[in-house]
Chain A
């Protein structure tokens, strides 16, 4: 399988009044055609910043300071704003948390899908509407021709998320970034929405980056998991390997705090300490070191990413 997106050495900073926030540091990963990769981590780990930076959606305070992100041969970090605008929505699309807020509240949903088809596929008004209705059908919205004229407020959260998926995949993008797509939805709706994403990915060969804080959702829906902590990818492996044999101390901690498989509350362990302040000038090389129980003197000198087994990378000198 060929790489759809290849990110290497990717760093992002935000200039704020209280200092420079080093939000992403030398992030690297590859997503292949048809593959679903999950980016997991706690709030503030840099999952969403990665997505926004890739698609050129960072706000004015943020900038990419180094690295490359190559989508189908085009380096997104070197693309002009107009090139990015052409790629975004056509070759790379994104769906967001809280679909009702992300959709235009005063435009019928069918129109919102047709807009994408007219802009990026160059369809006529009539063809775009027909295409929109077809997309509504593909994401499982009953009675699509009639629902096309509905407004977001008339639909449930799950239905709105389906509409956003329809907008995102209408142009058959090579890459879909799903940023917490089911947070706030019921588990039953989550299952249905994730089924739809999986079905569309299988049909079109679309690569998916699933951003989630829910390790169990990542376990169920992705082939690979990359774990983020304070702007670093600390571990990246096939889902089965990562869950059965986590090597980075943070991954192990995260799993030990996840209630999904726990037999009792007493068996759960919280992670000591907090994320380091990413504005510090003297940020330690390993940003987990202060919370880590396997810390060695070498941890304060340099951070290296090592491939310990084929397709299993970690950022740790002293893996468990």
Chain B
């Protein structure tokens, strides 16, 4: 075994991942020739806290640039946080540099499925190579054992074994998605992060992949963090959802309720913008404009202030914190009200 001993798994329902006050700031190049002063900072993820139970599926939604991807890279430990804590099981991972974590035993237990497997899988790897790679590197599996494990992962993901010696370009979009998932579950992770896994797929293929994910979650007992811009898919797949806006969590709660009766004005605008088959459109909630700049945002103003349809002067002076509401819901708005 390479690296540290892996964290022992806990019982179902116990906390798997506990993220607290997590922030990531990216410095911009200093202005002027001689530097001086502080560099500007992009606040990509700002003071984010949440927990994920074993067996739970957590959805992560928000517009592009809201920090979803940075948060994913932080919890999968592909990048180092500026501050805050990431507890995985009983172990603190935030202090561990990303480079060291790459060789850590827990690396195999946090895996990620990237968007568009056609782009994210090495084009010179066959499907078998792609699935074998993490097994070889993280688990030290070799020889006939490796072949058996690769075939097992492929079969679990509904990928016919005959296709394993094909290259990504010889596979259909759905088959490539299955390779991406098989690669990620081969090491039997406890936490699987899925970054828009079905964004490039047609609806009929998307259905089979989503149903595969549900089946895998049940057979392998994994927890999912599911990132998607498709709120309908999130509603169907996720137990809970986190809505992010400019690096901060603005609302969180059970997915069904958050989408049915959103508390935060941003969530309301987001939900109202999703096209519906009945053609009913809520133009009153249209979110005009773009988010503010994430560079050195005013620490005292609500990030949504200025674009918010119900904001007041108070929102420009007093950043709202997440408040608890009934039914396990939270929202960061001065004017959010208890759902009726």
Write the residues of chain A forming the contact surface with B, with a CB cutoff of 8 angstroms: 42-43, 156-159, 186-192, 195, 213-217, 219-221, 239-240, 243, 253-255, 257-262, 264-266, 268-271, 274
Contacts and interface: CB of A to CB of B under 8 A. Distances in A.
A188 B203 contact: no
A215 B237 CA distance: 20
B202 A213 contact: yes
B207 A257 contact: yes
Interface stretch (B219-227, B283-291, B313-321): B283-291
Nearest to A261: B277
B270 A270 contact: no
Contacts of B286: 191-192, 195
B236 A219 contact: no
Contacts of B172: 274
A79 B214 CA distance: 54
B170 interface: no
A43 B272 CA distance: 27
B48 interface: no
Given A42-B202, A187-B231, A268 B277 contact: no
A217 B273 CA distance: 10
Given A187-B270, A260-B232, A268 B276 contact: no
A240 B210 CA distance: 28
25 contacts: A42-B203, A42-B204, A156-B290, A158-B290, A186-B64, A186-B229, A187-B229, A187-B231, A191-B272, A192-B286, A213-B203, A215-B277, A239-B279, A253-B204, A257-B203, A257-B204, A257-B206, A259-B203, A259-B230, A259-B233, A260-B232, A262-B232, A265-B214, A265-B236, A274-B172
B234 to A, nearest CB: 10
Given A188-B287, A261-B278, A262-B232, 16 more contacts: A42-B204, A158-B290, A191-B286, A195-B286, A216-B274, A216-B277, A239-B279, A253-B204, A257-B206, A258-B277, A259-B236, A262-B236, A269-B207, A270-B204, A270-B208, A271-B204
B270 to A, nearest CB: 6
Contacts of B233: 259
Q: 8 tightest A-B contacts by CB? A: A271-B204, A216-B275, A42-B202, A270-B207, A191-B273, A186-B63, A187-B273, A259-B232
A190 B281 CA distance: 13
Contacts of B262: none
B205 interface: yes
Interface of B: 63-64, 172-173, 202-208, 210-211, 214, 229-233, 236-237, 269-270, 272-279, 281, 283, 286-288, 290
Contacts of A217: 275
In this complex, the member of B64, B210, B275, B287 whose beta carbon has the largest number of chain A beta carbons within 10 angstroms is B275
B56 to A, nearest CB: 16
Interface centre among A217, A262, A270 (most CB of B within 10 A): A270
B203 A219 contact: no
A260 B277 contact: yes
Contacts of A221: 275
**Best-surrounded residue of A240, A258, A266 (most CB of chain B within 10 A):** A258
A264 B236 contact: yes
Contact of B288 (A192, A213, A262, A264): A192
Nearest to B213: A265
A37 to B, nearest CB: 15
A260 B275 contact: yes
Nearest to A186: B63
Contacts of A220: 275-276, 279, 281
A159 B291 CA distance: 13
B237 A265 contact: yes
B119 to A, nearest CB: 14
Nearest to A258: B203
B203 A190 contact: no
Nearest to B64: A186
Nearest to A271: B204
Contacts of B237: 265
A268 B206 CA distance: 10
Nearest to A214: B275
Contacts of B63: 186, 188-189
A240 B279 CA distance: 9
- Best-buried of B203, B211, B273 by chain A (most CB within 10 Å): B203
A269 to B, nearest CB: 7
A195 B283 CA distance: 9
Given A188-B269, A188-B287, A259-B232, A268 B207 contact: yes
A219 B276 contact: yes
B208 to A, nearest CB: 5
A288 B231 CA distance: 30
Nearest to A243: B277
Nearest to B274: A187
A207 B214 CA distance: 43
Nearest to B200: A43
Nearest to A189: B63
A253 B204 CA distance: 8
